[in-house]
Amino acid sequence: MSGQLTLREIKPNFVAEVVGLKANNTLSVQQIKAIKVAWSKYPILIFPDQVFEPTALISFSKQLGELGLDPFVRPLSQHKHVIEVRREARESTPIFGASWHSDWSFQPRPPSGTLLHAKTVPPVGGDTLFGDCHQAFEMLPAKLKTTLTGLSAIHSAAPAYGPRGLFSEDDASRSMKIVISEDAEKTEIHPLVRTHPLSGRKSLFINDVYTLAIVEMEPTKGRALLKYLLQHMTEDAFVHRHKWHPDMLVLWDNRCVVHYADGGYEGHQRIMHRTTLAGERPA
């Protein structure tokens, strides 16, 4: 129990399910506060059996914080803050999100959180894997943690959305509307280790997709360190595999979580609706 919430812990200090709450209703100030308190302890909160149309999803998201900016993917035509993560049975292009990443880490103020609501769930596959970047940092040797705390990393959307990025090679089967742009070539520098503004815990803030290099290191050594850290933070001990059910909502904290969209549902449709919450500049 946390305030007015009943929680079922799934992975200690990382994943919990919120039991019995209907988030598509207007929630009280106390209930919203309780969700935020729970979220500061559990970076991933699961809300089962939530019936959300886009307007209701936006309303719930706004109760948690300011909505974020989602570049390079066209939203639903009637709802500019909702991205439809859609994959049809016929599609042959790479699965959206199928590499370890933190949403939009290339932004000056990356999203604090992401909300993903399951509309159509395939009968097989389609899991999402989540990596605990708090625990991954805490389990590193003390000397390495001290070294990393003084480093910064370069982030860019270019590997995914640039003119030579992954999605530039899409064929006509892609049902999501991806925007390829030279704007994706821009870079942003963030601390390699960031401190969570609510919990005060430190976490690794790098990912496979958007992190290009370490500012303070020569390229070869920097790439080697990034490779080591990225492998470390996605070891089984730090990862939760989430299985979706229709009408399930998941809220996760991009400041301390990386995620990976798994496949295994070829020949089946999968549809999710997504919003993001605005964040602060990493520090």
User: What are the pLDDT digits (tens) for 167-201?
Assistant: 999 998 999 999 999 999 999 999 999 999 999 99
pLDDT of 2 > 50? The answer is no
Superfamily of domain 6-277: Clavaminate synthase-like (3.60.130.10)
Q: So what's the pLDDT on residue 25? A: 77
% of the chain beyond a pLDDT of 70: 99
Predicted confidence band of residue 26 (pLDDT cuts 50, 70, 90): confident
Q: What number is the average pLDDT over the span 219-243? A: 98
Q: So what's the pLDDT on residue 167? A: 95
> Contact, 176 vs 73, CB < 8 A?
yes
Task: Determine the Cα–Cα distance for residues 158 and 179; give it in Å rounded to an integer.
Answer: 12
Cα dihedral 283/197/134/253 (nearest 10): -110
Q: What number is the average pLDDT over the span 7-21? A: 97
pLDDT of 1 > 50? The answer is no
> Contact, 174 vs 91, CB < 8 A?
yes
Which token pair is 91?
């599609």
Whole-structure pTM value: 0.96
Which token pair is 207?
């990912």
User: Quick count: other Cβ atoms within 10 Å of Cβ 261?
Assistant: 20
